[in-house]
Amino acid sequence: MLNMMKFFVFSAIGIFVFFVPITLNGKSSIMLDHFVSYIQLAIPGVLPYYALLVILLGAIYPFYKKTWNKDKVTLVFSVLKVFGFVAGTMLVFNIGPKWFFDPDMAPFLFNKLVISVGLLVPIGSVFLALLVGYGLLEFIGIFMQPVMRPIWKTPGRSAIDAVASFVGSYSIGLLITNRVFKEGKYSIKEAAIIATGFSTVSATFMIVVAKTLNIMDMWNAYFWITLVVTFIVTAITVRIWPLSKMSDSYYQEMEGDQEVIIKKDRVKTAWKEAMITANESPSFGKNIWDNLKDGFVMTMGILPSIMSVGLLGLILVEFTPVFDWLGYIFYPFTALVQLPDPMLAAKASAVGIAEMFLPALLVTKAAVVTKFVIAVVSVSSIIFFSAVVPCILSTEIPLTIGKLVVIWFERVVLTILITAPLAYLLL
């Protein structure tokens, strides 16, 4: 009886906080966004110093853990995190050149993204504990078996990764993927598909994008279209190079633990799995604390990267033609689907490889159709250098930077082609 209560009550609270729009003070949004907005209004003077402290802790963390020089990529990102702290300090204490304080440069990054993410991820991680900790994902996984293998060429249990990434974060998804891969329950190909196809940014990050682009009034449409498009794009990329040619062998040539396919009594089995998880779940307090701790450590990793890679991306966008050139790669596709200002949309699509928030920053004043398509692109493209790439490279999954860039390109093109017609139908 207690396990049933845990399953229904905690899962329902998690679903309510992440997915049910509520109107408060004339503003329609999900509860998680209302919580964050309340804090931002209640203590605005404290937040810049809180964000700067988190950036400082994030910059110190790789050196404290002695992981800063374990490979070239980690070394580069460890240095960038220190640069992120320097940039944050300059902004908070008002030191630096005039261009740095332009409203569309460092202040925009810091006030709109760093502070929002610094609150959203830890608070979101608390409610994520309720959503994913008491059997709901296991229950869904059994029902997803007949879907996952034919469409995405992955086991039913990978549905847990997919949902955990979407409602939690890519870091939680990648953590699960790497652990299951090392246990021999995913092949190399399956782990690569899950890491590059499902480990996208979370619903909490999507709120930041939607708020930045002023499309929170269509939150549910944005969320569900992004979910559907992301998974359609993944279904296509698993059938083309490089994912289609990844190895079917297992981690360190181990035997591999093939998934048991449930053919009958699916509801009974799903319920049994959910009850086992609910029974084995840690105490409520421990579950909340562990998730909050993981969420805070993740925030420490993300904020300095947003401040450094985001700022470098904005400098490249503002003062160099690099992303104009890259934008020409996507221009034929944005023009083909007749987006308003196709060159701006193409440039925004290209800039996403540096940091997933940058596309949104470029189209804040664009037509609503362009905003919507770019908002979906920034999530569905999955791969970006400020966070996901170092996360994937730090797992045991054998994916190279070259392959990741190719997969990113494929995902951006497919997302533009699929989302634009949907946006025109909707808006």
Alpha-carbon gap, residue 97 to 396, rounded angstroms: 42
Averaged over 265-294, what is the pLDDT?
87
For position 112, what pLDDT does the model report? 78
∠ CA 370-200-375, nearest 5°, is 10
Give per-residue pLDDT as tens, 143-191: 888 888 899 999 887 887 777 676 656 766 786 788 788 878 889 999 9
Higher pLDDT pick, 134 / 229? 229
- State the average pLDDT over residues 44-53: 94
Q: How confident is the model at residue 91 (pLDDT cuts 50, 70, 90)?
A: very high
Determine if residue 27 is left, alpha or beta; phi over 0 gives left, psi from -120 to 50 gives alpha, anything else beta. beta
Q: What is the pTM of this model?
A: 0.77
- Give pLDDT, residue 240: 96
What's the confidence (pLDDT) of residue 23? 83
Tell me: pLDDT of 200 over 70: yes
Q: How many residues does the chain have?
A: 427
Kindly report the average pLDDT of the chain as a whole number. 88
pLDDT tens digits for range 13-36: 988 887 777 888 877 777 888 888
Between helix 115-132 and helix 158-167 the angle, nearest 10°, is 140
Mean pLDDT of 283-310: 85
Residue range 373-383, pLDDT digits in tens: 999 999 999 99
Neighbour count for residue 261 (Cβ, 10 Å): 10
pLDDT given for residue 237 in this prediction: 97
Question: Does 203 have pLDDT greater than 80?
Answer: no
Closest to 169 (Cα-Cα) out of 123, 101, 112, 234: 123
